[in-house]
Each structure stands twice: as structure tokens, then as C-alpha cells.
Amino acid sequence: MILLARLLLAAVSGVLVYASYEPIGWWGAGILGIALFYASLIPWKQHRPTGWAGALLGFVHALALYLLLLPWIGEFVGNLPYIALSIVLALYALATGAFGVLIARHKWGFLAFPFIYVAVEFVRSSLPFGGFAWVRLAWGQINGPLADLSPWGGPALVTLATALIGCGIVGLLASLRGGLVAIVVPLVLAIGAGFTVNNPAHTTEEVTASAVQGNVPRMGLDFNAQRRAVLANHARETHKLADSGEQPDIVIWPENSSDVNPFTDPQARSLIDDAVAAVDAPVLVGTITRDEVGARNTMVVFDPETGPGDYHNKIYLQPFGEYMPMRDFFRLFSEYVDLAGDFKPGNGDGTVSMRGIVVGVATCYEVIFDAAYRDAVLNGAQILTTPTNNATFGFTDMTYQQLAMSRMRAIELDRAVVVAATSGVSAIVHPDGTVSQETGMFEAATLTETLPLRDSITFAARYGQVVEWILVGMGVLLMLASVVLRKRR
């Protein structure tokens, strides 16, 4: 019965952490969820869970979270891929629970467990096939004060602070020395860090930017079959922008806004050139190109005076979507395997120049990777953009979850972010993570706003990876320490 109560607590904790993510966005629920998860691992009077029981508790916690967080993956391919991914991701939490139980046997365990949590999160976000960083605990803190820690350590530091406060609550309730410190210190540091976010002193100039959302004829996996219609929609919205009297300096189209390659299709090229000429500003267009290596997911600048210019070939590709690892093996489980693409990763510096303005580009899935925007900023990016295609996920939470990541990157790197989506939600994000404008889903719309260009290099941009390695290293050492102490006992 006690184990059953622990399992129930672990499941509820997963539900609470889910509630911290957008579109619900109750950031405090993430902290409370971690508190309940840690509470399920600690000894209860004379009952001390085993390592195996801890592994099961970790799995239940994670599975409850991911089954609620990731249904958008199965929107048009059925439940099997989404459930399978949730189970695979939950397997990582076996280690979180098992080592968590061992470390929770000690009075100082509530201070150690957050580092273990970060270490497992790092592995899950890195391996295999580049990992799946979509489910980092930090993303659920975008509406709370802890997000302001991101300029000093990126999402890894935000995850640590979230887990530390949650575990600190358990320590405080258990009258353990240091529980209050574990709660107060991260909050005080976050509030202090908040005063350094969005410093106008780093604004060098301003730029008027437009995000064009052309919409798609219908949602679903087959929207690409309507490529010319999607392109025509974005061209039409750009002509409307030109007729509106707005005078943007740069215009951002979404990923896949022209899946008809304008370098091989004269009609597609004509539609783009006419739209670019009408708005009289460089336009960043999402398209599909091919070179001697293979197919590329490309964002390319079209200038009304000089024509095609800089481009960004997507570097961090989505496995099981843009490419299929172990295709023959996974074909045994799903007929949808052969719908996956065969794109090749790019090797650029993450930036494009649009009439002298250096724009950092993280195309859709790339926004979850720390290095994508950090490298862009270190290579001179003054403003960032997340061109994305979410039409394949319908009216799901996917677009809101992804927008939260762009908001976190804005805070982390002190840059405005222009989010341009094919079907919504497109948004204008300021360097403090606030959203000043956003579109609805599956509507044609254009957002235009004057935004700051920044020259700052945050601590996270330069040293964020080092911070994460230190946190992860401490987590691994604490895992080893928990095993050694168990053997001594």
C-alpha cells in the first residue's frame, strides 16, 4: 500500500510539472511537481524505498508528464509513435528515481537531488540522435522569475533552480537545516538577475521587422502537397504588407513557406521576386534546396536589389521527421517511417545578413538546442528569428510550447526574436521574453514592429555550456557518491 501511495504521488507530480508548460503556463506547478516527486522518493518513517522502487517512481513520474505533454506528435500519425516516444523518454527517469532514492536517504539529499535531475536531463537532451531537449524542466518556467537566470547558465541553470526550490520545500517541511536556504537563494538570485535582463544600454540601433504568416490550405501531413498554394499565400500576405503603408527593414517568412524550390522552378521564383519587389525589403524565405550533398532545409535571403543572398541550411535536424535514423529497423513498427525525409545538416554559423543586419536563425526544431542561437550571437547576430512550420501538428499545444522556448532564448541571449510560423502562432518577442504581438492559429496575418538590435554577449552565450558541464559533472559525482555510501552502510 505504501508503494502504491508513492506511485500515485509520482504520477500526480508528473501532472503538475506538465501544468507548468505552455499553454497552461503555471510555473509554480513545476516547482510543486518536483517537490512531490522528491517526496515520493524519501523515507517515510520506517519505510525506505529500494533502488528498484525508485526507478519505478521515476518512470511513472516521467510517463505521466510526457503522455500529457506530447500528444501533438501523434496528431496525424496516430498514437503509437507518440506513446512510444513517451515511454522511451520516461526510461531515462529510471536513473533519476533510482539514484534519487539513494541520495534521499541522507539529510542533505534535497540539496543533491537537483544536480542528479540536471544530469539525467542532459543525457536525455543529448542521446541518441541528438536527444530530445523539448522536455526540459526549464521551459515551464518562462512565466516565472527563474527564467531570468537563463542569461547566466541557460536552461540548465533554470532547471537546477526549479528542482532546488521544489526539493527545498520538502526539506523545509521535514525541518531539515538548509531547506529555507534552498528555496530563498535561487529566488533571490533570479530576482537580482532580472534587473540585468533587457538592458537598453546594449541597444545599438533599431530595426522594423515583419513576420508573415501566410497560412496553409489545410492542416495535416499532406499540406506539402499544396506547396504552390502555401507559397502563394505568403506572397499575397507580403503584397498586403506592401500596400498597408508599413515600411519594414526586414521581412521573415516561415520555414517551408516555399517548398517549391525557387532556384529550379521559374514560377516559384517569380512569385517570390514580385513579393520582395513590392515590399522593397529583404525577405528571409523558407524553402527546400539541393546540393551535391543532398536535400537541405534552407532559409535564404531575397533582396529586392541584389536577389538571392545569404542562406542558413538547418543544422540540427529532427530525427524521425526530417531524416530517419535506422530506417529499415523502424519500418518494422510503423508504415509512417517512409514519410520521413532525407535531409542533410548544414554547417554554417547560424546567421544571415539582411542589408547589413546580422540575423541569427534557428529553424523550428533548432530552437531547443543551446548551441544554435548561442553560436549565432557569438557570430554577430543582433536579432534572432525562429521560422517554423507547425501545420503538421494542427490545433495542438506544440506551437505554444515552442514559443516558450523562443521566449527563453530571448532572455538568455538579450535579443529580440521574430517567430514566423506557417499557420500560427507567429509572435514578436522582446529581449525580456515578453510577447508584444501574436497571431491566432490557422489564419493569414502579418506582424510588424520596431525592435532593438543588440551587441551584448551574455555569460550564458559565452560560458553556458561550461556551466552545464559543471552542473552535470556534479550530478554524476553525486550519483557515484550515493552508491558508495549505500555500500558502506
Q: Is 11 helix (H, G, I), strand (E, B) or coil?
A: helix
Q: b/e for 127-158, b at 16 or more Cβ within 10 A?
A: eeebbbbbbbbbbbbbbbbbbbbbbbbbbbbb
Catalytic option among 75, 237, 364, 468: 364
The DSSP result for 31-98, as a single string, is HHHHHHHHHHHS-BTTB---HHHHHHHHHHHHHHHHHHH-GGGGTTT-HHHHHHHHHHHHHHHHHHHH
In DSSP terms, 125 is beta-bridged to: none
Contact 437, 424 (CB under 8 A): no
Q: Cβ–Cβ contacts within 10 Å for residue 278, how many?
A: 16
3-state secondary structure of 474: helix
Residue 14's H or E segment, with its range, is helix 2-20
The one catalytic residue among 22, 75, 121, 255 = 255
Q: Which residues contact 81 (CB under 8 A, 6 or more apart)?
A: 73, 74, 320, 334, 336
Annotated catalytic residue 240: no
Burial of 435 (0-12, 13-18, 19+ CB in 10 A): middle
* CA pair distance 417, 404, nearest whole angstrom: 11
Tell me if residue 167 is catalytic.
Answer: no
State how beta strands 283-290 and 295-303 pair: antiparallel
What angle, 0 to 180 degrees and rounded to 10, lies between the N-to-C axes of helices 179-194 and 150-173? 150
Q: 368 forms bridges with which residues in the sheet?
A: none
d(CA 391, CA 378): 32
β 307-313/351-354 pair status: unpaired
CA distances from 88 to 61, 62, 331, 465 (A): 13, 10, 17, 26
Q: Is 254 left (phi over 0), alpha (psi -120 to 50) or beta?
A: beta
In the residue annotation, 121 being an active-site residue is answered as no
Q: Is 416 exposed, middle or buried (0-12, 13-18, 19+ CB in 10 A)?
A: buried
> Which position among 22, 167, 314, 366 bears the catalytic label?
314
**C-alpha cell recorded at residue 277:** 519587389
User: Which parts of 105-250 fold into alpha helices (H)?
Assistant: 109-124, 150-173, 179-194, 227-243
* Residues designated catalytic: 255, 314, 364
